[in-house]
Amino acid sequence: MSMAPLFLPRDADGSPLRPAVFIDKDGTLVRNVPYNVDPALLQFMPAAPEALAALAAEGFALVVVTNQSGLAQRRFTRAQWEELAAALRERLHAQAGVELTDLLHCPHAPGEDGLPMCPCRKPAAGLLMQAARRHGLDLERSWMVGDTLDDIEAGRRCGCRTVLFDSGGETVWRRAPLRAPHRVLTDWVDVAELIVADHRGLDIRAGIP
């Protein structure tokens, strides 16, 4: 059973570090429309806004971390990306009262082998580490939720527990210990229930180390 620590880790200013839920964007938070920057095509996955509201009410910071290689490939401009990011934030607030703690993106393209050429493109953990430093987050009490094993690896690399949101985004299935999710789920209601229960120390999620 997961139990809250008796002594919470603290930031440099003495404030306790917060747990976070890191959320992949395409195929996890919103339906995957490749290289989309049109707010009209932005559609949340079922129950995602309400699930994030439940997680925020539990005290979790909410951080979207997303690879956006379309910027490097010049499929869209930075201004177009920023317009979409603003629309995502606004709609989360309008639909469920959710305020994201941050929305971080990697603008770089992968190498020819598909692997990152920078420290921020998932499966590297740079975006999560950046958010942790910026917002005083406790990575060991945090979760990464994403639809590919690259998301899982990014989370595990910085000590988070992980949920593979199996919406069909993973097609390669390149297996390795760092790419093994703690749980595989297909519904945001179940994701929120799992994370909240674990945070409260409730023993209803067999199989979580």
**Tens-digit pLDDT profile for residues 83-118:** 999 999 999 999 999 999 999 999 999 888 777 789
Please tell me which residue in 13, 24, 113, 198 is annotated as part of the active site: 24
Tell me, yes or no, if 138 is annotated catalytic: no
Q: Structural domain tally of the chain?
A: 1
- For the ranges 42-46, 57-61, 191-195, 205-209, which has the lowest average pLDDT? 205-209
106 in Cβ contact with 67 (< 8 Å): yes
57 in Cβ contact with 99 (< 8 Å): no
Q: Please state, for a pLDDT cut of 70, what percent of the chain lies above it.
A: 90
For residue 42, which amino acid is it?
Answer: L
Assess if residue 45 is contained within a domain.
yes
Domain interval for residue 91: 23-200
Looking at residue 14, what is its pLDDT?
A: 61
Assess if residue 180 is contained within a domain.
yes
Tell me, yes or no, if 24 is annotated catalytic: yes
Q: For residue 102, what is the domain's CATH number?
A: 3.40.50.1000
Assess if residue 130 is contained within a domain.
yes
Please tell me which residue in 13, 26, 147, 203 is annotated as part of the active site: 26
Distance CA 120, CA 202 (A): 34
Give the residue among 2, 99, 20, 16 at the shortest CA–CA distance from 60.
20
23 in Cβ contact with 62 (< 8 Å): yes
Distance CA 56, CA 119 (A): 28
Q: What is the pLDDT of residues 65-78, one digit of tens each?
A: 999 999 999 999 99
Token pair in block for residue 174: 């390149």
Distance CA 187, CA 147 (A): 12
Task: Give all strands (DSSP E) within the chain, no chain letters.
Answer: 20-23, 61-67, 102-106, 143-146, 161-165, 183-185
Distance CA 172, CA 152 (A): 14
Assess if residue 119 is contained within a domain.
yes
96 in Cβ contact with 53 (< 8 Å): yes
The per-residue b/e assignment along 14-28, b for 16 or more CB within 10 angstroms, e otherwise, is: eeebbbbbbbbbbbb
Distance CA 69, CA 67 (A): 6
Q: Tell me the angle at which helices 48-57 and 78-96 cross, rounded to the nearest 10 degrees.
A: 70
